[in-house]
Structure 1
C-alpha cells in the first residue's frame, strides 16, 4: 500500500474530516475503555473462579493500564515514522490474540500477562485517533473534534457495563473476555478501512536516541506538560472509580452485577453528555472559559463527595449524582487541555506527543488506584482520591492559565512562551 493510502472512510488522497471518519476514530479511541469497563462487573467472579484475592484481580486492571501507558510510548514514534495506519493494524491483531489468551487463562498469573498484552496493544487506538485529529485540524476546530471523540469515548463506560453485567450473569468472566475478543476483531476491520492521515513528506526517521530526545524535549514544553498533567488528573478521577466502584457498589451498597452495570452506566453518561455539551459551548465560548468552569465544578463535586463520605452521610443516590457530576467535569477538562497541549508541539512530533500525553495520563492513576482499593469497599478512599485529583487539576490550571497560547518553536517540543 502507498504511504498516502486512502480508505473507505475518506476516499480522497488528502484525507478530510467526515462524520464517518469521526465515528471510526471514536470507535478506536473507545476500544481500550470498553475493554476495561466491560470487565468491571466480572471482577468479583474472577476472585472466586481463579481462587485469588480482590487485590490480585484489581492488579489485572492496573496491569492493563500500565501496559497501555508503555504502549503509548512505543506506538507514537512508530506512527510518526511509518504513518498512522500500519501500527494501528498490527496493534489490533495483537489485541485479538491476547484476548484469546485471556479468555482461556487458567490462573491469575496467565490472566495478568494477557491483560498486560491487551493493554499494550490497546494503546494504538487512542494515540492514533488523537494524532489523526491533530494531523487534520488545529485550534478551536481541534477542540471540537476532541470533544466529539471524548463524547464517543464516554459511551464506552455507559455501554460496556450494561453488556458486561448480563454477560457475567450468563456465562461468567470468560464470556466477557470472548466479548472483548469480538471487539478487537471489529477493530481490525476498522483499521483496515481507515485512511492514512500522515503524508510521506511529514514522516521522519526514528531512532531510540531521537525518541528519548523528543520525550525529554516535550518535558521542557511548559504548555504541553502542564496540559498533559491536567488530563492525567482528570483521568485519575475516572481511574479511581474504575478500580473501586465494583467493590463499593456491590459489596458496600449491595448491588447485583446488573445493578452495578446500570449505576456505572449512569455515572458514565455524565461524561458523554458533558462531551456533547462542550462541543456546543465551543461555538459560543473559548476553550479557556469552558475549562475554568469545569475546574470549579469538579472541585466542588469532589469536595462535597469527600465530606459526606467522611460524615457517613453519603447515601446511594447522593453518590450517584456527585460521581456523575465529577465524571461529566472530566470530559471538557480532557478535551480542551488535549487540544491545547497537542497544539503546542511541532506537526512532525504529533504522534510522539500524543503518545507521551497518553503515558502521562495513565501511569500515576494506574499506580494509585490499587492502593485505594486496599482499603476495602468503603466509599471514603474513592472520595479522597477524587478530591486529591480535583485539587491537583485546580493547581495545574492556575499555572496553565498564565501561559500564552503561542505556537511551537523550531526546537524539539518547544513552544513560544
Structure 2
C-alpha cells in the first residue's frame, strides 16, 4: 500500500493492496465482525437502560448514582481509546482487540455480580476500557484495507449495520429483565463478548509486521500532540466532535423536554427516539452510495451545513416556542439524521493522511468525539431550567461549530454555499 495518500478526500480511492496480509474471508463475514466490534459502545449501555430503576431499588441507590454508571462508561470509553490506538499500531489489530474483549467480559461479569452502585460504576469503567479497543481498532482495520472515500463508504456501511443496536437494545434488555432479572443482562453481555472473541479469529490480521509503528507506546502517546497540530486532522475531528456534542445533548435533553415539559407518554418517547435512529441509518446508506462519486469532504461539507441550518432552526424554535412539540421533534429528527453524512466522513477524512498511525488517529478522533459528547450532555444538565431552551441552545451551537470546523480542513477557502 502506498505510504502517501492524495491530499484531498474528494479523490476516488481504490482498495489498498493487501498482498502482504493473509487473504480475507468473505466480505460479509468481515463486515459482520467489524460491525460487532463497533457496536460494543451501543450494546454495553442500551441493553441495560430499562433495568436502571430495578438496579437502583436493589442497591438502595438514588437515580443520580445509577446514572453515573453511564457517565463512568463514557469516560472510560473516551480515555481508553487513547491507549488502544498506539498499541494497535505497534502490535497489530487482533491481539489488542482480543485483550480488550477479555477485559469487556471481565467487566461485564463484575457488573453482574456487583453489590452496590459504587461497584457497578467501577466495573462499568473496566467494561468500557475493554469495549473501546474493538471500536477504535475496527475503524483502523477499515483504514488498513481501504483509502479515502472508499474507507468512508465502508464506515458508513458499518455504522448503518451497528445502528440496529440502539433500536433493539432497550427492547431486548426489557425482555431479559422481565424474564430473568437485571443481572442476566450483563451475563448476556459476557456471552456476546466471548462470541465476538471467537469470531475475531476468523478474520486475518490487517496490519502486517512491516507496516507497524516501531516507536514505543510512550512515544506514540506523546505523539498525540503532533497529531493535534495537524490542521486538517483537527478540522475533520472537530467537525464530528461538535456534532457529537449535539447528539449527546439530544440524548440527555429530550427525555425531559418531551416527557416533562411537553407531557409525552414514556412509550411514545421511545418511538420518537427510534425515528432518529432510522434517520441515521437512511443517511448512512445514502452516504455509502454517493461518497465514492462525490468525495467524502464534499459530502461532509454538505452534512455540516445541514446540521448548522437545522441547529439554528432548533435554536429559534426553542427561544420562541414556535411550533410547539411537533416543530421541535421534526427539527431534531432532521438534525440527528445528518449524522450519516458527518460521522463516517469525519473519521475517514482524519484517517486519510496517516496510514502508519491509523490506530492512534482513530483513537484520538474517537476520544474527541466521545469527549465532546460528554461535554454536550453536561452542558444541557448545567443549563437546564425546566424548558427545552438548554437543549436547543447546545444543539444550535454544536451545528455552527461543526460547519465552522471545516475552515481548518481547507485553510483560506470560503466555506459558503458555493463550496458545497
Contact 2:379 2:394 in 1 (8 A): no
**Equivalent residue number for residue 252 of structure 2:** 243
**TM-score between the two structures when normalised by the length of structure 1:** 0.85
Contact 2:83 2:221 in 1 (8 A): no
In structure 2, C-alpha distance between the alignment counterparts of 1:172 and 1:50, rounded to whole Å = 14
2:129 paired with 1:120: yes
Measure how far apart 1:134 and its partner are. Answer: 0.7
2:380 paired with 1:364: no
2:117 paired with 1:130: no
Q: Cα deviations across residues 315-363 of structure 1 (Å, max 9, x unaligned)? A: 4444433222212112211111211110022x22111111111111112
**Structure 1 runs, 4 residues or longer, greater than 6 Å off:** none
In structure 2, C-alpha distance between the alignment counterparts of 1:192 and 1:246, rounded to whole Å = 41
In structure 1, C-alpha distance between the alignment counterparts of 2:266 and 2:92, rounded to whole Å = 42
Contact 1:228 1:341 in 2 (8 A): yes
> CA separation of 1:325/1:178 partners in 2, compared to 1, >3 Å: closer, same or farther?
farther
Which structure 1 segments of 5+ residues have no match? 1-9, 405-417
**Equivalent residue number for residue 21 of structure 1:** 30
In structure 2, C-alpha distance between the alignment counterparts of 1:195 and 1:165, rounded to whole Å = 36
Measure how far apart 1:151 and its partner are. Answer: 1.5
> CA separation of 1:42/1:317 partners in 2, compared to 1, >3 Å: closer, same or farther?
farther
> CA separation of 1:126/1:295 partners in 2, compared to 1, >3 Å: closer, same or farther?
same
Note the 1:139-178 alignment, pairs <5 A: 139-168=148-177, 173-178=182-187
The match for 2:304 among 288, 295, 302 is 295
In structure 1, C-alpha distance between the alignment counterparts of 2:49 and 2:315, rounded to whole Å = 23
Which shifted more, 351-360 or 367-376? 367-376
Measure how far apart 1:124 and its partner are. Answer: 1.1
In structure 1, C-alpha distance between the alignment counterparts of 2:376 and 2:210, rounded to whole Å = 42
> CA separation of 1:47/1:152 partners in 2, compared to 1, >3 Å: closer, same or farther?
same
**Root-mean-square deviation over aligned CA pairs:** 2.7
> CA separation of 1:335/1:149 partners in 2, compared to 1, >3 Å: closer, same or farther?
same
> CA separation of 1:297/1:368 partners in 2, compared to 1, >3 Å: closer, same or farther?
closer
**Equivalent residue number for residue 212 of structure 1:** 221
**Equivalent residue number for residue 109 of structure 2:** 100
In structure 2, C-alpha distance between the alignment counterparts of 1:360 and 1:318, rounded to whole Å = 31
SS of 1:123's partner is: helix
Contact 2:244 2:372 in 1 (8 A): no
In structure 2, C-alpha distance between the alignment counterparts of 1:327 and 1:67, rounded to whole Å = 25
**Equivalent residue number for residue 330 of structure 2:** 321
SS of 1:243's partner is: helix
> CA separation of 1:188/1:318 partners in 2, compared to 1, >3 Å: closer, same or farther?
farther
Which structure 2 segments of 5+ residues have no match? 1-18, 414-420
> CA separation of 1:233/1:199 partners in 2, compared to 1, >3 Å: closer, same or farther?
same
In structure 2, C-alpha distance between the alignment counterparts of 1:390 and 1:58, rounded to whole Å = 27
In structure 2, C-alpha distance between the alignment counterparts of 1:376 and 1:171, rounded to whole Å = 39
> CA separation of 1:403/1:203 partners in 2, compared to 1, >3 Å: closer, same or farther?
farther
> CA separation of 1:189/1:326 partners in 2, compared to 1, >3 Å: closer, same or farther?
farther
> CA separation of 1:250/1:295 partners in 2, compared to 1, >3 Å: closer, same or farther?
same
The match for 2:348 among 333, 339, 343 is 339
In structure 2, C-alpha distance between the alignment counterparts of 1:13 and 1:387, rounded to whole Å = 47
2:360 paired with 1:352: yes
Task: Give the aligned length.
Answer: 393
In structure 2, C-alpha distance between the alignment counterparts of 1:18 and 1:403, rounded to whole Å = 41
Measure how far apart 1:33 and its partner are. Answer: 1.9
The match for 2:202 among 179, 193, 199 is 193
> CA separation of 1:193/1:378 partners in 2, compared to 1, >3 Å: closer, same or farther?
farther
**Equivalent residue number for residue 409 of structure 1:** none
In structure 1, C-alpha distance between the alignment counterparts of 2:58 and 2:396, rounded to whole Å = 35
Which shifted more, 132-141 or 278-287? 278-287
In structure 1, C-alpha distance between the alignment counterparts of 2:130 and 2:193, rounded to whole Å = 10
> CA separation of 1:172/1:271 partners in 2, compared to 1, >3 Å: closer, same or farther?
farther
Which shifted more, 227-236 or 48-57? 48-57
Contact 1:271 1:324 in 2 (8 A): no
Which shifted more, 101-110 or 54-63? 54-63
Which shifted more, 362-371 or 325-334? 362-371
In structure 1, C-alpha distance between the alignment counterparts of 2:171 and 2:385, rounded to whole Å = 24
2:264 paired with 1:264: no
2:33 paired with 1:31: no
